[in-house]
Structure 1
Amino acid sequence: MTVTVSEDIELLRRSVRDFIQNEVETVAMQIEEENHIPERIVEMSKEMGLFGLSIPEEYGGLGINMVEKCMLYEEIGATHNGYTTLIGAHTGIGTVGIVELGNEAQKKKYLPDMATGKRIGAFALTEPKAGSHAINLKTTAKRQGDKYILNGTKHYITNATEADIFTVMAVTDPEKGAKGITSFIIEKDFPGFHVGAVENKMGLRGSHSAEIILENCEVPVENVLGEVGEGYVNALKILANGRAGLAARNLGSAQKLLDLSVTYAKSREQFNVPIIEHQAVGHMLAEMAVDIEALRALTYRVANMVDEGEKVIKEAAMVKLFGSEVYNRVADKALQIHGGIGYIADYPIERFYRDARITRIYEGTSEIQKNIIASQLNKEYT
């Protein structure tokens, strides 16, 4: 499909591209070595409005649609994935729930600071016994007067150490299964809220994931997000909404790997010719290019469907599945093309290769996406 955007959005896209190439890329190795994103980069990102991608203008955000957001995500995905994840987790599942499901009082209270990056967002669903089986939550929420008291542990929570505002799922009625789960907006300073152990991950250096521990955590009744008992449905909505954006980030990373691979293949000589002239290498590059163009088409098709208000349960699962699988295939071929140098930690290929692997797991595994697609097909063919 042809993507047409305003001149203002195109200018913003070019500004983001310049920022990624001239600022973030220059500190990519520093992020990897220090497991920390320089404050200068974070502050510059705030000034550019990158923390407000999902937030309407009336609350201080950029007010852009999903197609436009994917264009920016594609640019952001072309750099260190730790930085990409800090931005993506905040502007995706970290804020979308409040934008889509929050009441006016909640939006006015939280979104302006989240739009500027003054307060970072995170999404807390996963637990030790509730990952893909999301309805198996053990975190409980019991109402006591004008508060809910939450107890339980979440883990693998992206942005946990940086976040100020958490969208948390907890069981309010254990007898009702999926219909007994409720969403809450929790501030890090609420009594009984603690950030636990920080995970030592295989990749995504600079992006921190940690446990969230709720010990008699006091949450005001007015911080219920959506309706009581609709938390599981809310979680599905939040995750589905963000899947086109996640695919766009994968697309940006895959395109970066293709660019690096073509450049390397044209300069690296073996048997007296550039290796791009060897059929084995040329075929890998061709396969990478086809995968990337197919992902680009599907990403913007799904993004456009979101903007048109269409039902995208199946398509969102498709683009999440395809995006993560393409990124991993492209990363594998990029490393093979680069050979030994691609395996060395001083070069970006090795980093992208490690970072790619989590995309087939987080925000819904590839297997769960296939289940969703198959379930929707079963309903369509009745």
Structure 2
Amino acid sequence: MNETIEMKKTSSERNSTTQEPIQQFLAKLKDKMKQVYHQRGDIDKYSQQRGLPPFVLREIMECNPLSIGIPKEYGGRGAIMRENIALLEAASYESLALSLTFGINSALFLQPVGKYAQEEAKASVFKRFLEQRNMGGLMITEPDYGSDALNMQTSCTEEEDYFQLSGKKHWAGLTGWADYWLLTARQKTEKGDLKRDIDFFICDVTQPNQGIQVEEFFDNLGLYQIPYGRNHIDVKIPKTHRLQPHSTGVKMMLDLLHRSRMQFPGMAMGFIHRIMDEAINHCKQRLVGGKSLLNYDQVQERLSKIQASFTVCSAMCSNSAKKAGVENDLTGIGIEANAVKSVITDLMQEAAQSLTQLVGAKAYKLSHLGGRGIVDSRPFQIFEGSNDILYAQISEGIVKQMRKLKETNLFNFLKGYELTSRSADQLKELFNFDLNLQLPQRKMVELGQVIGRVISMDMVHKLADEGFRNDLIEGGVNMLQQEITQTMSKFKSKTLDLVIEDYQDDSSWLKFSI
């Protein structure tokens, strides 16, 4: 009798959280974060230790935040992209690690499961997420094949009722915590070689023959609350738990990764907003030379750039909310997704550096938002595609399209390109030249940095069309234009310095100081 009442109560509570307005849903989550991070505990202390006190995650998960990533027909809120980005923003204002935890669960597990999993698997997975507060993650990266994911060596062989997976994976967020994992592998041929395509499997570590052995937990620099490590894979996955691509496994992976990169602004939004608030408040209160820091011009320069980053991030959130839904195929939006991920993570790191500079020595502690923000935001420039690689890929995509159109003038191309047409005119003086389509790699990276910011500027202009306040829009556009101008100056430089490997001869200053 009591069990029946409790089950009905749990179901009723779940329905209320999945049907209430998103603002009300987020307000409850924010109240809970305030309680566990500031009233019952101290987030500054948590930031210095590995993992989280059990009650913190338990109480936050009582709000059922991951219901946002689950379709309505399975009891969730509908996997609406606007809501998912808002969830990431709310969490990252308090904790970037918590927001990333939500992001891993939603973008790298729940969304692909909802889109590509078989019915039998979806029903059981979503039920446990809603009722038992389970978590899931994604394993792609391997010790010898980091950015070279397409050459992964984890293999799968098909048996009568299951797939046998064998290999090693590392740097998967939530290592040792997640109840479910999306595992990537390549099928073995009869000759023992591995096929080019990639398969995804849902691994339930609570089931027999699906346990994943953690060989080592890493002492990751930053994001202390999230465990990372090296995992040994030797599991048997039921055939019902293999994802079903709409075309190929590689395209499914691109759709998944591009959608994830388009959601980075959600994690960045709350983080940059919090840094902006902390920086402004500190500079108002801190007196130097008889006046507040806010009155110094260099301080204003730093604060205005943080605020401009807030505006750029807002534009990206608005853009992703419209484009990145699970109902859309994002396989072909690599240029846009790479631009969003790389530009916003650069801005996250720069914002943290500026806050630390403004606060001074006090911020050079893990217990302070500035120092913590530097080490917590730094890996965002690396995981899910190193920014150097993504910038080069942006340029490769642009050059490919220019070749196809037989266009060499960069301005003419950008003026007609959907992602940059709004901003091209105001940048004509910088781009009105014939682009060498055979660029060295470092120039491809620099060009990608420029194009990424032009794409971002277009998003800011579109945000202005939606009614965002004009003074913030102006600041965002000005900052991007300055960065574009500076990087274009570097891009046009002919210098291509190379490392001198045998540098020891005649390179000691002491020898020449006599």
TM-score, length of structure 2 as denominator length: 0.69
Q: Residues of 1 paired with 2:170 and 2:277: CA distance? A: 36
Deviation of residue 374 (structure 1)? Answer: 2.7
Deviations 1:236-273 (A, max 9, x none): 22221122322211121111111111100111111110
Which of 140, 145, 148 pairs up with 2:160? 145
Q: State yes or no: 1:271 paired with 2:289.
A: yes
Q: State yes or no: 1:199 paired with 2:212.
A: no
- Structure 2 equivalent of residue 3 of structure 1: none
After alignment, is 80-89 or 369-378 more displaced? 369-378
Tell me: CA distance 1:229–1:63, structure 2 relative to 1, closer, same or farther (3 Å).
closer
Contact 2:70–2:78 (CA under 8 A) maintained in structure 1:
yes
Aligned pairs for 1:134-173 within 5 A: 134-173=149-188
Contact 2:64–2:133 (CA under 8 A) maintained in structure 1:
no
After alignment, is 13-22 or 235-244 more displaced? 13-22
Paired residue type of 1:223: H
What is the alpha-carbon root mean square deviation over aligned residues? 2.3
Instruction: Name stretches of at least 5 consecutive residues in structure 2 with no aligned partner.
Output: 1-18, 405-514
Q: State yes or no: 1:119 paired with 2:137.
A: no
Paired residue type of 2:225: G
Q: State yes or no: 1:96 paired with 2:115.
A: no
- Structure 1 equivalent of residue 270 of structure 2: 252
- Structure 2 equivalent of residue 209 of structure 1: 228
After alignment, is 31-40 or 120-129 more displaced? 31-40
- Structure 1 equivalent of residue 249 of structure 2: 231
Paired residue type of 1:17: K
- Structure 2 equivalent of residue 357 of structure 1: 378
Deviation of residue 115 (structure 1)? Answer: 3.5
- Structure 1 equivalent of residue 413 of structure 2: none
Q: State yes or no: 1:343 paired with 2:364.
A: yes
Tell me: CA distance 1:315–1:190, structure 2 relative to 1, closer, same or farther (3 Å).
farther
Deviations 1:275-316 (A, max 9, x none): 111111111000111122012102221221124837443222
Tell me: CA distance 1:54–1:371, structure 2 relative to 1, closer, same or farther (3 Å).
farther
Deviation of residue 71 (structure 1)? Answer: 1.6
Aligned pairs for 1:2-41 within 5 A: 8-25=21-38, 26-41=41-56
Q: Residues of 2 paired with 1:102 and 1:287: CA distance? A: 43
Larger Rg: 2
Q: Residues of 2 paired with 1:303 and 1:262: CA distance? A: 28
Instruction: Name stretches of at least 5 consecutive residues in structure 1 with no aligned partner.
Output: 1-5
Deviation of residue 220 (structure 1)? Answer: 1.8
Deviation of residue 34 (structure 1)? Answer: 3.3
SS at match of 1:207: coil
Q: Residues of 2 paired with 1:54 and 1:11: CA distance? A: 17
Contact 2:187–2:195 (CA under 8 A) maintained in structure 1:
no
Paired residue type of 1:42: L
Deviation of residue 378 (structure 1)? Answer: 3.8
Count of residue correspondences: 375
Deviation of residue 228 (structure 1)? Answer: 11
Q: Residues of 1 paired with 2:334 and 2:131: CA distance? A: 30
Tell me: CA distance 1:219–1:285, structure 2 relative to 1, closer, same or farther (3 Å).
same
Q: Residues of 2 paired with 1:7 and 1:57: CA distance? A: 13
- Structure 1 equivalent of residue 204 of structure 2: 187
After alignment, is 299-308 or 357-366 more displaced? 299-308
Contact 1:251–1:323 (CA under 8 A) maintained in structure 2:
no
Deviation of residue 15 (structure 1)? Answer: 2.9
Q: Residues of 2 paired with 1:283 and 1:200: CA distance? A: 36
Contact 1:254–1:327 (CA under 8 A) maintained in structure 2:
yes
Tell me: CA distance 1:107–1:322, structure 2 relative to 1, closer, same or farther (3 Å).
same
After alignment, is 149-158 or 58-67 more displaced? 58-67
TM-score, length of structure 1 as denominator length: 0.91
Q: Residues of 1 paired with 2:171 and 2:220: CA distance? A: 10
After alignment, is 100-109 or 367-376 more displaced? 367-376
Tell me: CA distance 1:101–1:378, structure 2 relative to 1, closer, same or farther (3 Å).
farther
